[in-house]
Structure 1
């Protein structure tokens, strides 16, 4: 832990703390984490998200809207379908870190 503590630039962290807190607040919702995990590495249409998630259409729409306004996801329209994908590379990094911190033990036990 000492090496990590010595490698952190506290002034830089303080300067970026509000942006980091806002980013983490947006991710700090179980539904948004699941939605983003479905988008990890691929583009997905709203209809497929709705089918694969246990979340109402209105709640899904609200979460996607918030994540879009925060710049975490982007959209592409094809005819009447709207496709979402992860826009901010920090999202993928945080999803992988979250998986590593909270799911790796379960993965090891399953093997």
Structure 2
């Protein structure tokens, strides 16, 4: 159990960086090019490259080249599961509706 806790802790540490988390939230919707990610996050190429390199090095994302574009996707099975949950809970349009209805429920209970 201790070994697994160490692996999970490392994965969560990688996911907890704000920029990497934002990259993964976008990739939870499907494959995207580096340019699309940079535009979606409002980040310049050097900042994006650094975070993408970390995620690639750690085996969280994979890349493929198509012409001059590089496309990224989440390839780590556990990261896919975690990001699917986080996307559904916090990022999707439905997540906003859940947050609003959850807040309304809290108000009603008070």
Per the normalisation by structure 2, the TM-score is 0.76
Partner SS for 2:42: coil
Q: Does 1:107 align with 2:97?
A: yes
Q: How many residues align?
A: 99
Aligned partner of 1:96 in structure 2 is: 84
Task: Give the CA RMSD over aligned residues.
Answer: 2.4
Match of 1:66 among 54, 58, 63: 54
For structure 1, list consecutive stretches of 5 or more residues without a partner in the other structure.
1-12
Tell me the distance in 2 between the aligned counterparts of 1:49 and 1:94: 20
Q: Mapping of 1:10-21 within 5 angstroms?
A: 13-21=1-9
Q: Which stretch shifts more, 79-88 or 36-45?
A: 36-45
**4+ runs of 1 displaced by more than 6 Å?**
none
Q: Distance in 1 between matches of 2:36 and 2:57?
A: 21
Q: Unpaired runs of 5+ in structure 2?
A: 102-110
Distance 1:39 1:77 in 2: 16
In 2: Cα distance, 1:80 partner to 1:64 partner: 17
